[in-house]
Amino acid sequence: MLQVRGEPLFFGDWMRVLMLHFEVDAKRLQLDSPFPLDLRDGRAFVTLVAFTLRDLRPRFGGTFSRWLFRPIASHHFLNVRTYVTVNGEPGIHFLAEWLSSQLAVALGPRTFSLPYRFGRIQYRNDWRSGELNGSVIYPRTGKRFAYSAALSADADFTPCARDSRDEWLMERYSAFNTARGRHRFFRVWHPPWPQCRADVQVLDLTLLKEAWPWFAQAEFVGANYSPGLREVWMGRPHPL
């Protein structure tokens, strides 16, 4: 990233991150992705990422620019992402993202071509309590996503094993996006996720099934939890 002038553009803290992984039908998923899917052993995956963004701030501008960003600096996310390869580069593509900030929802599609939607989001993802739970409601339809998870209080957070499926799913540093007819990409950088497996019970998937009917046949294959990372680098949007 540092080889590109002006990168990174932002810093932000990605905290209390829960990733739920599903195997889905590749042919049906490809119809909803404008980019070629990146498959692992011929299998296609979609990951739901529930996390909290904190203290988003520009790299440049000091205290004043940080103050300007306060209205959108911290909020909850639910990312629905799949895995793609564009011009030989592996990355992710966001099928949709629900945010708890209406202002951020207005800005994301215009700047980064991100498919933002407003959601009423409640997360309790503090690993120290040993229990995690959350819900996302889309006000336009009333449909909901909800989960409950258990985590050992003495969980050992370590990077994913090299060449494992967990590493393949979690360690992605390029995002290829589409919104309002515009294709753009941006890159991020951070140390490897400190993570552990999580025992998750999916309570409600109507939000996903309404958006993508093929999700009704999705197979839940596992979950990972990370307490998060501070000062994640986020690059500027580039045209595709």
Given this model, what pLDDT does residue 91 score?
98
Q: Given a cut of 80, is residue 118 above it in pLDDT?
A: yes
**Averaged pLDDT for residues 138-144:** 96
Q: What's the pLDDT tens digit per position in 36-91?
A: 999 999 999 999 999 999 999 999 888 888 888 888 889 999 999 999 999 999 99
Q: Given a cut of 90, is residue 119 above it in pLDDT?
A: yes
Given this model, what pLDDT does residue 3 score?
87
Distance between CA atoms of 223 and 8, rounded to whole angstroms?
A: 29
Q: Which residue has the higher pLDDT, 194 or 129?
A: 194
Which segments within the chain are labelled E, that is strand? Answer: 10-24, 44-58, 75-86, 89-99, 116-118, 120-124, 131-137, 144-150, 174-179, 182-189, 196-197, 199-204, 219-234, 238-239
pTM of the model: 0.95
**Averaged pLDDT for residues 206-211:** 97
Given this model, what pLDDT does residue 2 score?
85
Given this model, what pLDDT does residue 180 score?
78
Average pLDDT of the chain is 94
Q: 104 by DSSP, 3-state: which?
A: helix
Q: Which residue has the higher pLDDT, 188 or 5?
A: 188
Split at pLDDT 50, 70, 90, the class of 181 is confident
Given this model, what pLDDT does residue 144 score?
98
Contact yes or no for 228/16 (Cβ under 8 A): yes
Given this model, what pLDDT does residue 64 score?
85
Split at pLDDT 50, 70, 90, the class of 160 is very high
**Domains defined for the chain, CATH in brackets:** 10-235 (2.40.400.10)
Given this model, what pLDDT does residue 109 score?
85
